[in-house]
Chain A
Amino acid sequence: MTFSAADLFLVLPELLVVTAACIVFVLDPVLRTSDKDGLVWLSLGTLAVCMGLTASQIQAPATIFSGLVVIDAYGAFWKLLLYFVTGLTILLSHSYLKEEQLYFGEYYGFVLLSLSGMMVMVSSADLLTLYLGTELMSLSLYVMAGLKRSEPRSLEASAKYFVLGAFSSGILLYGISLLYGATGSTRLPEIAAAISGRNLDDPLLLFATILLTVGFGFKLAVVPFHMWTPDVYQGAPTSVTAFMAVASKAASFGAFLRVFMEGLGGLKANWSAMFLLLCLATLILGNVLALVQTNVKRMLAYSSIAHAGYALIGVVATGHMENSSGIASVLLYLTLYAFMTFGAFAIVAMLRKGGIEGVDIEDFTGLAKRHPVAALLMLIFMVSLAGIPPTAGFIGKLYVFMSAVEAGLPWLAAVALIFAVISAYYYLRLVMVMYMREPSDLSSTSPRMVMSPALSIVLACAVAGVVIFGIYPNPLVNFAMQAVSALK
């Protein structure tokens, strides 16, 4: 295997992120606690540089490292989203870790390492590259989930995540090897060529597709492979939860769509039937179980499961039509989902009750009285998650449902919308608690919001995304369409 210096230049963003992660790991033990803010600046600076580099790659597609990695607009779309979310995560963590008294410099290293894994995932043109990226992302996340060492729930989350994650990685790898057996290659273009004209009557291909679906199903947290999600989301430090719910889900969708469109695109009529079942199960179970939660983090976990269901509608629709607007709608949906979900988790992270996090719905009682701005932002995020205009959540749903109707599945859109009404109930319950209940007392145990400049930036970015893309989503829609047209 040979590669040139030009290849290395094209993966410069990945290299920079890994280098920054290494520098963080090395510097962390030697720096005094007071100087550790420098690590935050280093990480953010790296992200800014990467953002510029990746943006310049949109127009110049290339396949490098003998076809193992592909640089194209599709990968760039996801990478830009991932940089943005990682940046927000680092800013949020800066305040959150202080509040939780978790002074771990290596935290930022793990965030960057995980990001590099995600970047590899979305730009891999080979299933083994993809697997490496997935593992790099997951292993960093296992550590991050267990970072609150004094908290048994956090350790439980980490262990559970690790066991189920390893299990799902194994299944994914098994699927990859079966697909290799069926097609003789792990490169996506060669797989596509090998399966053209074949269908799932071939048992080897059938099992390979099923195992890949299950493997990705765990990463995407779709029902019935979602069991780990609520526990892990609840137990992990909230900044990590936000990162997992948004970035890891986005990267998994990015890799999953590339594999199923570029590699298994010839079978899309077959696999879309399978995803229809997963999609319905995810929509129904995610929304119904979210109804009965009393813990906000768990509620948001089920909500993130349900949102994966909405995104899957676009995937199902793709199987029924010639153009790829279904995939574009998934890209748009996950981008808009990132803003509102991250915003919601950021508010949860900063709501403190007597030294610990206030994560019960009841802890939000009367928030509108004490922190009108925080309550208003949470209201906007909840309304957007419920998909009510004029917010980003509505635009995302509109586009997904549009592709479903275009694919001749108006009934699927109708079912999904009925569950959107159900979801409005649990999202607005939080609004009700914040705005329509009086705080019981104003003693020291009553919850308060911890505000900091970094957090203000996070919330401002999230709410700006929700509002601006809710009113003027056109540039984003165009970018999503451009990204999808790069998929072969």
Chain B
Amino acid sequence: MTGFPWLTLLVVLPLAGAIAVFAVQERSIKVTALAVAVADLLISLPLWWLFDASSGEMQFMESARWIPSLSINYRLGLDGISLPLVLMTTVLMPLCILISWHSIEIRMRSFMAMLLIMESAMIGVFTALDFVLFYVFWEAMLIPMYLLIGIWGGPNRLYAAIKFLLYTLAGSVLLLVAILVLYFQGGHTFDIVQLSQGTYSNSLQFWLFLAFFAAFAVKVPMFPFHTWLPDAHVEAPTAGSVILASVLLKMGTYGFLRFSLPMLPDASQAFTPAMVALSIVAIIYGAYMALAQSDLKKLIAYSSVSHMGFVTLGLFMFNIQGIEGAVMQMVNHGITTGGLFLCVGMIYERTHSRQIADNTGLTKPMPRYATFLVIFSLSSLGLPGTNSFVGEFMVLAGAFLWSKIATAFALLGIILAAAYLLWMVQRVAFGVPDPHMLPKLRDVNLREMITVVPLVVLIFLIGLFPNPILTRMHPSVEKVIARAFPAATEQTSTMRQADPLSPTVKQITSPTGPAFGQGAQVSPEGQPQ
């Protein structure tokens, strides 16, 4: 399919913006960066409607020769899995720029340039259809992120920055070897679509899966490769934390879904028990660690480990509910955790502390702020009516089909999430305010409102009407599953009917399910006063 080069425009515009930022005058840096990010968002929005939801094929494809002597091509495309992730990225970037409006005090020019370069690379990762091109985008974001943490980060930033870089670099080098091996085994091509249709021997799949796993598991991060995450999150500036949590982590799970599952279906199924075990450990361990944190950012960082555990759990269920739930959860986690980090950033700007003990009783002085914090927290713990409920429910429904015991353990994570988030909300929103801090506690201003309101809208929009996203990703997800089970979709549909849960499961994918009507009734009760 040829036509207007939407995707190239999406990738190139922020890059051009990054250069433009260096050219403009000091006072218009922020405006320029914001304008570029908003323009990118506006370019990405039409894709939502232009996208053909009935097709599981790649759309908006672009192809050009890049290094023909090594058969490397420039190929971009979008399917139902990458579409929501690209949109999530373009929605979040303007917010990241807005939240950094005053909080960045040094080298604003370079900061904005780094953010825009990151945006290019992230959209590139989600749209690349050539494996080398994917790898280039995947690695290209390491240095900007390293600089974001290392230059604009907190007191321990040097350690956090190099730890982030070395961890992710070490993970991804094996990916490169795996890509090259696939090239020679898969018919001398780096074309992702073509490689996803090949068949590879079991032993080859085994090794490739491990190599892919090293790259993606570090990025997700799955237990026990998560130790870089709390450090990076805590030290990064707010915008950096948002990008890390909302987009970078998704690249890992996106990698599993785009490469491991369709290219290595046999190995993926063989490794499923191990992946489920690691996911459940991550869910429970992350939640348990979050309970023990006194630093807000660290708490959210560990909650990310727990939430990403749900995503990897859903992915390896190899059924519609699990995988669609996982993709939903990727988007949801991006929105919700992004919102939580924005909230922490706002309060840090005022009190210069991220400690829960220093930021208590904010409801009185900052009622609007407290409202947002409560909404994001409730969304994060999966309250019906909010976005995370849809995703987590689908993942658990998918997991239930695979193993009831595993589901029971995963449910523990939801209970613990309620515990650490509500306890955090109780202290931060409803505790006794520190009298020394009171003068600093101005309520959320208009700029900050603009930063968080879009996310709040999305939380309820997805929570109440998840269907537009689900229908768009459905054909693409079915294609992935069809790769794992050559007997195609019949198998999943029989599994669905054989299970007592099936009515509920079907309602989720149907346009207006009573499950969501119910959710809508519950959510007002969950609202803060």
A-to-B contact residues, CB < 8 Å: 379, 383, 388-390, 394-395, 398-399, 401-402, 405-406, 410, 413-414, 417-418, 420-421, 424-425, 428, 431-432, 435-436, 472-474, 477-478, 481
Interface string of B59-73 (1 = CB under 8 A from A): 000000011111000
Pair A421/B150 contact, Cβ less than 8 Å: no
B184 is contacted by which of A388, A406, A478, A481 (Cβ under 8 Å)? Answer: A406
Chain A residues lying within 8 Å of B181, measured Cβ to Cβ, are: 405, 410
| Least distance between B488 CB and chain A CB atoms (Å) | 33
B163 to chain A, nearest CB (A): 11
B146, A428: Cβ atoms under 8 Å?
Answer: yes
Which listed residue (B150, B162, B169, B180) contacts A413, Cβ 8 A? B180
Known: A399-B70, A436-B157, A473-B67. Contact between A394 and B139, CB under 8 A? yes
The answer to whether A474 touches B176 (Cβ under 8 A) is no
Beta-carbon contact of A389 and B135 below 8 Å: yes
Residues of B within 8 A of A428 (CB): 146, 162, 165
Q: How far, in angstroms, from A428 to B151 measured CA to CA in the complex? A: 13
Chain B neighbourhood of A477, CB < 8 A: 67, 69-70
Residue of A nearest to B171 (CB): A421
Q: Are A394 and B136 in contact (CB under 8 A)?
A: yes
User: Are B66 and A421 in contact (CB-based, < 8 A)?
Assistant: no
Contacts of A436 in B (CB 8 A): 150-151, 157-158, 161
Contact B143 A402 (CB under 8 A): no
Chain A residues near B135 (CB-CB < 8 A)? 389
Q: Which of A389, A406, A410, A435 contacts B140 (CB 8 A)?
A: A389
Q: Across the interface, do A421 and B180 meet the contact criterion of CB distance under 8 Å?
A: no
The 23 listed contacts between A and B (C-beta, < 8 Å) are A388-B143, A388-B169, A395-B67, A399-B70, A401-B176, A402-B70, A405-B177, A405-B183, A410-B177, A413-B177, A417-B174, A417-B176, A417-B177, A418-B170, A428-B162, A432-B161, A432-B162, A435-B151, A472-B66, A473-B67, A474-B69, A478-B69, A481-B69
- Give the interface SS of chain B, mostly helix, strand, loop or mixed: helix
Partner-A contacts on B (CB < 8 A): 66-70, 132, 135-136, 139-140, 142-143, 146-147, 150-151, 157-158, 161-162, 165-166, 169-170, 173-174, 176-177, 180-181, 183-184
User: Cβ of B69: which chain A residues have Cβ within 8 Å of it?
Assistant: 474, 477-478, 481
The smallest C-beta distance from B149 to any residue of chain A, in angstroms, reads 9
**Chain A residues with Cβ under 8 A from B151's Cβ?**
435-436
A438 to chain B, nearest CB (A): 10
5 A-B pairs with least C-beta separation: A417-B173, A405-B180, A389-B136, A477-B69, A436-B150
Q: What is the bound-complex CA distance between A318 and B93, given in angstroms?
A: 47
Task: Determine whether the beta carbon of A424 is less than 8 Å from that of B132.
Answer: no
Give Cα distance in the complex from A431 to B177, angstroms: 27
- Number of A-B residue pairs with CB-CB distance less than 8 Å in the complex they form: 86
Instruction: State A401–B176 Cα separation when bound (angstroms).
Output: 9
In the bound complex, what is the Cα–Cα distance between A484 and B183 (angstroms)?
A: 23
Instruction: Check A418 against B173 for contact (C-beta < 8 Å).
Output: yes
Which residue among B147, B166, B169 has the maximum number of chain A CB atoms within 10 Å of its CB? Answer: B169
CA distance A91 to B139 in the complex (A): 34
CB distance from B460 to the nearest CB of A (A): 40
Cβ distance A267 to chain B, nearest Cβ, rounded Å: 26
Name 8 extra pairs, CB < 8 A, besides A405-B181, A414-B177, A473-B67.
A379-B143, A395-B67, A401-B176, A410-B181, A432-B158, A474-B69, A477-B67, A478-B69
**Residues in B neighbouring A418, C-beta threshold 8 A:** 170, 173
* CB-based contact B67/A474 at 8 Å: yes
Contacts of B180 in A (CB 8 A): 401-402, 405, 410, 413
Q: In the complex where A432-B150, A477-B67 touch, is A402 in contact with B183 (Cβ < 8 A)?
A: yes
Interface centre among A390, A406, A420, A421 (most CB of B within 10 A): A421
Q: Is the CB of A425 within 8 A of B162?
A: yes
A316 to B50 alpha-carbon distance, docked (Å): 51
- The minimal Cβ–Cβ distance linking A145 to chain B, given in whole angstroms, is 35
Q: Is there contact, CB below 8 Å, between A421 and B176? A: no
Instruction: Let me know if A435 and B132 touch, CB within 8 A.
Output: no
CB distance from A397 to the nearest CB of B (A): 8
- Closest chain-B Cβ to A269's Cβ sits at a distance in Å of 20
Q: Residue on A with the closest CB to B182?
A: A405
Q: Is the CB of A424 within 8 A of B177?
A: no
What residues on A are CB-neighbors of B170 within 8 Å?
A: 418, 421
> Which residue of the partner chain A has the closest CB to B106?
A369
Question: CB distance B132 to A390 under 8 Å?
Answer: no
Minimum Cβ distance to chain B for residue A12 (Å): 31
Complex-state Cα separation, A417 to B139, whole angstroms: 14
**Chain A residue with the shortest CB-CB distance to B139:** A389
Measured CA separation A231–B22 after assembly (Å): 41
- Complex: how many Å from CA A370 to CA B180? 42
**A424 near B169: Cβ-Cβ < 8 Å:** yes
A379 CA / B150 CA spacing, docked (Å): 14
From A394, A395, A428, residue with most partner B Cβ within 10 Å: A428
In the complex, which residues of chain A have a beta carbon less than 8 angstroms from the beta carbon of B142? 388
- Shortest CB–CB separation between residue B157 and chain A, in angstroms? 7
